[in-house]
A and B are shown apart, each in its own frame.
Chain A
Amino acid sequence: MAEFVQVVVDGVATGSIYGALALALVLIFRSTSVVNFAQGEMAMFSTFVAWGIHQAGVPLGLALLGAFAFSFAAGAIIERVVIRPFEGGEPLTLVIVTLGLFLLINSAAGWIWGFNNRSFPSAFPDSSVTIVGARLDVESLGIVAVLIVVVGLLYLLFQRTGIGLAMRAAALNPDASRLVGVRVGRMLMLGWGLAALLGALAGVLVAPQLFLDPNLMGGVLVYSFAAAALGGFDSAIGAVVGGWIIGVSENVAGTYVNFIGADLKILVPLGIIFVVLLVKPSGLFGSPEVARA
């Protein structure tokens, strides 16, 4: 029993890594209807910025704030300069543009900081607690807590504030929003800025465990996409829960189902996603798509 609990707990810890970046993907999708392949690389770059500021002697807390501010501004600028010209065009063109951003940012980070591993300080104490015989790092608990808080904040933002409503409207139907006085351009910039900020948060949360290098998020991105899809691409809570389901299911299957093994354990969450989407085509928590004739 204790072993099973441990396997589940480890899965949640890993799943939180996927969920963190998935939140940023969901946010950008909700507020701009864009699937951003460069989200992970933006997060990596922000993490390097935090690292650089901290390296220059600034305390970690301030360095993180600095990196968040940088990310927000950079995200908004990227939207205005790179993404805006493609608004309202073919969505696949935009997907390819974000792929281009992916390559560009990854290469720039490698050029500036090199490709070697760096340690990134954790904001949480380096200790562990024992629950029902299972050992759990305080760091992982901290990440879970942060994710839950972020989900709450996003809920408040989108459901309880005028600006959140305006962001959703701008993403859903830019033309109609303009007619009712929503400043669509501003909302899109705000969406990208916030998503970049969330990405930076994801980056600094996972970097202490994964080690910081330009490929920090390369492997995470696919899992985060899966988490977002499983949860429903427009649901914040779905992104986090999706991440957990993926983390736990691959860990349980990799441990208890022998023929699956570590190399194919990714098939299990993918299988789950497939089945879930067949039953519920817009994810566990996603809002159903309306087809128009």
Chain B
Amino acid sequence: MQETHDVFSLSLSAQSERIPSFLPGQFNMLYLFGFGEVPISISGDPSKQEELVHTIRAVGAVTKAMQKLKKGDEVGVRGPFGTHWPLSKKDCDVLVIAGGVGLAPLRPALLYLATHRKDYKTITLLYGARSPDDLFYKQEIQEWEELGFTVKISVDRADVSWRGSVGVITTLINKHLPCPQNTLVLLCGPEIMIKFALHELMRTKIDPREIYISMERNMQCAVGFCGHCQYGPYFLCKDGPVFSYEQLQTWLTIEQL
């Protein structure tokens, strides 16, 4: 399903084995015969075992080829791999900050929060995109608002017909941060946006151990052997992709890492 001009969702059903269950935040290695293999976060509903959904941005050879897949075409799947969003913490406020296609790895967490709405206090989603045409999951966002989520969307640029917010998403953080003492923050998006968002979050009294980030970088083996995803002392495929800010605090300051 085409979500925007360069973002699409693939819904996969298993041909032989059962689809393995996954936790929000985990990823699969998807391989397309003749093109290659890429790590893609799972963006589907963790409670629905009959299909596996991945939302993908077409940027390289493999993902551009995947964008042309039709119903019935085959894709190889290895996984799920990696760590997950820490949703077992209850009775807290939750702030979800998503930049661009970073909303995709957060979608399973948002679906889980929606299903378990009464276990949490306020749930706020801040979603940033380049322009109104780059927004996706619009129907679900509306459903989450109807469930009582506070949703604030901001785009970087828009023409005068846009009636929403224009500005980088980080400018909304301090305005919509619930009580810093009891807030769980889930953050995913371009790394520079993550760094600026953390800069804003650290201006409040929020505990770095309650901020979780998904590091969406290139991975190859996905099992901690090849070293391509090494980040400081961590392998993003095995020790991540979801980390607490406390784990990454030192390494995020190293510009060329």
Verify that A and B bind, or say they do not.
no
